[in-house]
Structure 1
């Protein structure tokens, strides 16, 4: 897919998924404000975690009273009121589609079997804000750094709604930064963006608008291929109010 319309918020970590991150919650609040709605319709997609019930419960608790929540469970084990598998086009009616973390490779495979990428692309074109953390960050780009196969590995078949590659948890997990620099430096992955835990990249129509952080010291980086390896450049990162 190459159509890059709409608003996408990609999070390296943080939000309700990672309450241990200092300041966690500010990214979720930003996400709600991006919709411009008083009580946004927010649909959680937990495919990457196999629709883990505990993850769904954390989402529902985090957004209770702040949004009209729903859950899309492609494994068929969602809570009462989950989006029916024969009505996946309900994502077109959401203000936010929020994708959780887990296995990027599994997420992409299951989504493609159900035709969800095309629906999400259309939703973004209509104004739905797309968002996600970790695997939910990776999926929107052309390529990414993933641990879907055990050890860190380059993944080159992302959805491509956003250009280049992505790396979440950049300085928060041992070996994540080093492997991403190596792959971009060698050309195994195209140039892209890396985000620490608590950091998000805000995109509109395929153009990076800004980087933000809810975690003190959190940073985003542009990583490109140079003559002697990867070039890492810090992206100005705005600190969100607590």
Structure 2
């Protein structure tokens, strides 16, 4: 079974005191102590970002590691195909796509996906799996970017977290500049099996996922399960 978990925002880098999404990702692995590799390409392998990853995951029941394309390992494919989970960080999606294609990661990650390794990611690490994504990679203006195409349609992260995201996504879909797709609030993850959405989950009670269509900027709220419900009270 091929799995992708796309997060609009949240996780260890945005919610240091709220582990719900990252715990959810770990819990999807078939083993009790999964190997999880962080790919921080979109941030330019920012050291602080990598440190935050280890600060969280070294305290979980897992084996964390990371892959740098600026200080690459000898056999990237062998290393990645030995993971249980591959977790892609946020940042500049355009730069991520260029570097991945140069290093052949686009093909390696597709192979990993087909072999059942869980692919996950936040923001740039969410939209990269779709055919298109709404990105700020080009500067102040939001643009459409062609991505890997493992998942059909388009994706917009930070739907409630950045004021300009929602109107820009609707406008670009209405003007046929982007395909219809899924919008994710901060704190929301869309979990896909093969190319179908299985469930949307959240680390925040009011956060949701949405299907966004071309018909007069319509959006359909997707039932989103709050992961902290069993911790209330």
Sort the TM-score into its range (normalised by shorter chain): over 0.9
The one of 10, 13, 17 equivalent to 2:9 is: 13
The alignment's TM-score, normalised by the length of structure 2, stands at 0.94
The one of 159, 166, 179 equivalent to 1:170 is: 159
Map 1:1-242 onto structure 2 (within 5 A): 6-19=2-15, 24-66=18-60, 67-76=62-71, 84-226=73-215, 229-241=216-228, 242=231
Residues in 1 aligned to 2:151 and 2:45: alpha-carbon distance in whole angstroms: 25
Matched residue count: 228
Residues in 2 aligned to 1:46 and 1:195: alpha-carbon distance in whole angstroms: 21
Contact 2:135 2:145 in 1 (8 A): no
User: Shift of the alpha carbon at 1:220?
Assistant: 0.6
Instruction: Give the ranges of 4+ consecutive aligned residues of structure 1 lying more than 4 Å apart after TM superposition.
Output: none
Residues in 2 aligned to 1:86 and 1:50: alpha-carbon distance in whole angstroms: 20
User: Shift of the alpha carbon at 1:154?
Assistant: 2.8
The alignment's TM-score, normalised by the length of structure 1, stands at 0.91
Residues in 2 aligned to 1:152 and 1:222: alpha-carbon distance in whole angstroms: 23
Residues in 2 aligned to 1:121 and 1:145: alpha-carbon distance in whole angstroms: 21
**Aligned Cα RMSD in Å?**
1.4
Contact 1:74 1:85 in 2 (8 A): no
| Cα 1:194–1:152 shift into 2, 3 Å | farther
Residues in 2 aligned to 1:86 and 1:95: alpha-carbon distance in whole angstroms: 17
User: Shift of the alpha carbon at 1:202?
Assistant: 0.4
Gap regions ≥5 residues in structure 2: none
Contact 1:152 1:179 in 2 (8 A): no
User: Shift of the alpha carbon at 1:85?
Assistant: 4.5
Gap regions ≥5 residues in structure 1: 77-82
Residues in 2 aligned to 1:34 and 1:152: alpha-carbon distance in whole angstroms: 36
* Partner deviation per Cα, 1:53-101 (whole Å, 9 max, x = no partner): 000000011101421011100011xxxxxx6154343111100000000
